A and B are shown apart, each in its own frame.
Chain A
Amino acid sequence: MVKNVLCGVAVIALLAGVAAGQSAGKPAMPGLDATVTKVERAATASLRDCPPGSNTVNATTRPGEQFALVTVAFKVASSFQPAQMKRPSITDAADKKYNTAATFVDVGKVPEFSCTFPFRVPEGTKLKALQIESASYDLTSLDSK
Chain B
Amino acid sequence: MEIDRRAFIASLGGAAAVNLMDHEAKAEALEHYMEEKLDAMVAAQQPEKFPTVAEIEAQIETKNFRRGAGGLFASGRGNMQKLPPMPAKPTLKDFFELRFNPANHVLQSATRAMKTGMSEEVTLACLLHDCVLSLIKPDHGWWGAQLFEPYIPEKSAFAIRYHQTLRFYADDDAGYEYPDQYYRIFGHDYTPPAYIEQTYKMLKNHKWYMEPRLVTVNDLYAFDPNAKVSFEPFEDIVGRHFKQPKEGLGFDNSPSAHMWRTLSRPDQPL
The answer to whether residues A103 and B175 also contact, given A54-B224, A56-B225 and a CB cut-off of 8 A, is yes
A:68-123 near B, CB below 8 Å: 84, 87, 99-103, 105-106, 120
**Are A99 and B220 neighbours in the complex by a CB distance under 8 Å?**
no
CB contacts (< 8 Å) of B115 on chain A: these are: 105-106
CB contacts (< 8 Å) of A56 on chain B: these are: 223-225
**Are B220 and A47 neighbours in the complex by a CB distance under 8 Å?**
yes
**Are A59 and B179 neighbours in the complex by a CB distance under 8 Å?**
yes
Q: Is the interface of A mostly helix, strand, loop or mixed?
A: loop
**Are A54 and B178 neighbours in the complex by a CB distance under 8 Å?**
no
CB contacts (< 8 Å) of B183 on chain A: these are: 60
**Are B179 and A99 neighbours in the complex by a CB distance under 8 Å?**
no
Interface presence of B143 (CB below 8 A): no
CB contacts (< 8 Å) of B199 on chain A: these are: none
- CA of A53 to CA of B223, assembled, Å: 10
CB contacts (< 8 Å) of A102 on chain B: these are: 175
CB contacts (< 8 Å) of A84 on chain B: these are: 116-117
Q: How far is the CB of A101 from chain B (nearest CB, A)?
A: 4
Q: Which of B178, B217, B221 has the most CB of A within 10 A?
A: B221
**Are A55 and B224 neighbours in the complex by a CB distance under 8 Å?**
yes
Q: Is the interface of B mostly helix, strand, loop or mixed?
A: loop
**Are B116 and A103 neighbours in the complex by a CB distance under 8 Å?**
yes
- CA of A53 to CA of B183, assembled, Å: 23
- CA of A90 to CA of B221, assembled, Å: 21
**Are B116 and A59 neighbours in the complex by a CB distance under 8 Å?**
no
Interface presence of A37 (CB below 8 A): no
Q: How far is the CB of B48 from chain A (nearest CB, A)?
A: 8
B15-54: CB near A (< 8 Å → 1, else 0) gives 0000000000000000000000000000000011000000
From B47, B173, B176, B223, contact of A55 by CB (8 A): B223
**Are A59 and B177 neighbours in the complex by a CB distance under 8 Å?**
yes
**Are A54 and B177 neighbours in the complex by a CB distance under 8 Å?**
no
- CA of A105 to CA of B179, assembled, Å: 20
Interface presence of B112 (CB below 8 A): yes
**Are A120 and B177 neighbours in the complex by a CB distance under 8 Å?**
yes
CB contacts (< 8 Å) of A100 on chain B: these are: 175
From A44, A53, A101, A105, contact of B176 by CB (8 A): A101
Interface presence of A33 (CB below 8 A): no
Closest to A85 in B: B116
Q: How far is the CB of A20 from chain B (nearest CB, A)?
A: 30
- CA of A53 to CA of B225, assembled, Å: 9
CB contacts (< 8 Å) of A58 on chain B: these are: 179-180
**Are A101 and B175 neighbours in the complex by a CB distance under 8 Å?**
yes
B:223-246 near A, CB below 8 Å: 223-227
Interface presence of B172 (CB below 8 A): yes
**Are B226 and A59 neighbours in the complex by a CB distance under 8 Å?**
no
Q: How far is the CB of A118 from chain B (nearest CB, A)?
A: 8
**Are A57 and B220 neighbours in the complex by a CB distance under 8 Å?**
yes
Give 13 new A-B contacts, CB below 8 A, not counting A57-B223, A60-B183, A99-B172.
A44-B47, A44-B48, A53-B226, A54-B227, A55-B222, A57-B179, A58-B179, A84-B117, A87-B175, A101-B177, A103-B175, A120-B172, A120-B177
Minimum-distance CB pairs A-B, first 10: A59-B177, A101-B175, A58-B180, A53-B224, A55-B224, A54-B226, A101-B177, A56-B223, A57-B179, A54-B224
A-B contact pairs, 21 of them (CB 8 A): A44-B48, A45-B177, A47-B177, A49-B112, A49-B221, A53-B224, A53-B226, A53-B227, A54-B226, A55-B224, A56-B225, A58-B180, A59-B177, A59-B180, A60-B47, A60-B178, A84-B117, A101-B176, A101-B220, A105-B115, A105-B116
